[in-house]
C-alpha cells in the first residue's frame, strides 16, 4: 500500500514563508504532485517532481529527494488567498494517484 | 487549458433513491477518468478508474453494484449512487486525463451529495 504523511495544520503570517513537508512510502515511484484545494472545491495543480531537486514556479517551489522519500512545498510571500489545503500526492507503480490527508494552511494578517 | 465539468454541483436526495453525477471533459478527449470520494478534512480516496468503452476498475472496498460507473464516450463519464444511504453523503470529485495513467489529471469542481 501507499503511505503519505503531511502535517495536518500550519499557520503563518501574511508575507511570511511556509514550508509543508511530505514523506512517502510507496510501492514504486513515478512522480510526486502538489495540489491546492480550497474548501468545497476541486484540487488545482501546483507542481510535479519526478527528479531530485528544487522546482521553482513563482511564489511556490517544490523539492524532492527520492532517496529520502521526502518532498516539501515552499510558499513565499504568503497572501490571504493562499489559505487552503495543500495535498501531496504520489504516483506509485500502480500508476494511480495516492493522496496524503492534506495540510490546512491558515494565513493571518 | 483543460476543463472538466461536473453536474450537479450539489444534490440532496432521500435514502433509497439513486442519484447520477456527470463528469465531462469540455475541451479534450479523456481516455481515462477517475472518480474520487472525499470526507471532510480527509484525503481524496480513489474509488474507480474508468476507461472509455470498457468496464470500470474499482478499488478494493468499493461496491461496484452500489457505485455504477459508465464511460460512454471520450468526454463523458457518469457515476450513479444506487439506493443511497446517509453514509454515502460525501464530496465526489472526478478527474480526466488524456492518457491511461494518472499523469496530468484535470479535476472537476466536485459534487456535494447529501442523503437525508
Q: How many CB pairs under 8 A join A and B?
A: 47
Partners of residue A30 in chain B, C-beta under 8 Å: 103
CA proximity to B17, closest of B75, B81, B96:
B81
How many angstroms away from the CA of B29 is the closest CA of chain A? Answer: 19
Q: What is residue A89's predicted lDDT score, i.e. its pLDDT?
A: 96
Q: What is residue B36's predicted lDDT score, i.e. its pLDDT?
A: 96
C-alpha distances in Å from residue B54, one per residue of A37, A58, A95, B64: 31, 41, 18, 14
Average pLDDT of B21-43?
91
Contact B109 A104 (CB under 8 A): no
Contact B101 A95 (CB under 8 A): yes
C-alpha distances in Å from residue A15, one per residue of A36, A100, B103: 18, 26, 32
Q: What is residue A40's predicted lDDT score, i.e. its pLDDT?
A: 84
Q: What is residue B98's predicted lDDT score, i.e. its pLDDT?
A: 84
A97 to chain B: nearest residue by CA?
B102
Give the Cα separation of B116 and B113 in Å (integer): 10
Q: Is the pLDDT of residue A105 over 80?
A: yes
Q: Which of A91, A96, A99 lies closest to B43 in CB terms?
A: A99
C-alpha distances in Å from residue B9, one per residue of A18, A73, B63: 32, 30, 23
| Local structure of B17: helix, strand or coil | coil
CA proximity to B43, closest of A83, A89, A34:
A89
Average pLDDT of B37-46?
88
Q: Which of A97, A101, A104 lies closest to B102 in CB terms?
A: A97
Q: Which has more confidence, B100 or A17?
A: A17
Q: What is residue B47's predicted lDDT score, i.e. its pLDDT?
A: 96
Q: What is residue B99's predicted lDDT score, i.e. its pLDDT?
A: 74
Asked if residues A17 and A75 have their Cβ atoms less than 8 Å apart, the reply is yes
C-alpha distances in Å from residue B95, one per residue of A14, A89, B78: 32, 14, 12
Would you mind telling me the total number of residues written for chain B in this entry?
116
Asked if residues A63 and A72 have their Cβ atoms less than 8 Å apart, the reply is yes
Q: What is residue A2's predicted lDDT score, i.e. its pLDDT?
A: 83
C-alpha distances in Å from residue B110, one per residue of A37, B7, B10, B66, B93: 11, 8, 8, 19, 4
Q: Which of B34, B46, B110 lies closest to A41 in CB terms?
A: B110
Give the pLDDT band of residue B100 (cuts 50, 70, 90): low
Percent of the residues in chain B that have a pLDDT greater than 70, as a whole number: 97
Q: Is the pLDDT of residue B101 over 80?
A: no
Give the Cα separation of B113 and B11 in Å (integer): 5
Average pLDDT of A39-46?
89
Q: Is the pLDDT of residue A101 over 70?
A: yes
Percent of the residues in chain A that have a pLDDT greater than 90, as a whole number: 86
Give the Cα separation of B111 and A16 in Å (integer): 34
Q: What is residue B31's predicted lDDT score, i.e. its pLDDT?
A: 86
Q: Is the pLDDT of residue A86 over 70?
A: yes
C-alpha distances in Å from residue A107, one per residue of A36, A46, A57, A87, A97: 14, 18, 20, 17, 28
Amino acid at each position: 500500500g501507499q503511505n503519505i504523511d503531511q502535517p495536518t495544520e500550519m499557520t503563518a503570517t501574511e508575507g511570511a514563508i511556509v514550508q509543508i513537508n511530505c514523506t512517502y512510502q510507496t510501492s514504486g515511484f513515478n512522480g510526486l504532485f502538489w495540489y491546492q484545494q480550497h474548501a468545497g472545491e476541486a484540487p488545482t495543480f501546483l507542481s510535479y517532481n519526478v527528479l531530485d531537486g528544487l522546482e521553482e514556479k513563482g511564489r511556490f517551489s517544490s523539492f524532492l529527494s527520492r532517496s529520502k522519500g521526502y518532498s516539501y512545498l515552499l510558499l513565499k510571500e504568503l497572501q490571504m488567498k493562499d489559505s487552503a489545503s495543500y495535498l501531496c500526492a504520489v504516483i506509485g507503480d500502480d500508476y494511480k494517484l495516492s493522496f496524503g490527508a492534506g495540510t490546512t494552511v491558515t494565513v493571518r494578517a | 487549458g483543460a476543463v472538466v465539468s461536473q453536474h450537479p454541483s450539489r444534490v440532496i436526495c432521500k435514502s433509497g433513491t439513486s442519484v447520477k453525477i456527470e463528469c465531462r471533459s469540455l475541451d479534450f478527449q479523456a481516455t481515462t477518468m477517475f472518480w474520487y470520494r472525499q470526507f471532510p478534512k480527509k484525503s481524496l480516496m480513489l474509488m474507480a478508474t474508468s476507461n472509455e468503452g470498457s468496464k470500470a476498475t474499482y478499488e478494493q472496498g468499493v461496491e461496484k453494484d452500489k457505485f455504477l460507473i459508465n464511460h460512454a464516450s471520450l468526454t463523458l463519464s457518469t457515476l450513479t449512487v444506487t439506493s443511497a444511504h446517509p453514509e454515502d453523503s460525501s464530496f465526489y470529485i472526478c478527474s480526466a486525463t488524456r492518457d491511461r495513467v494518472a499523469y496530468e489529471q484535470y479535476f472537476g469542481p466536485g459534487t456535494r451529495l447529501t442523503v437525508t
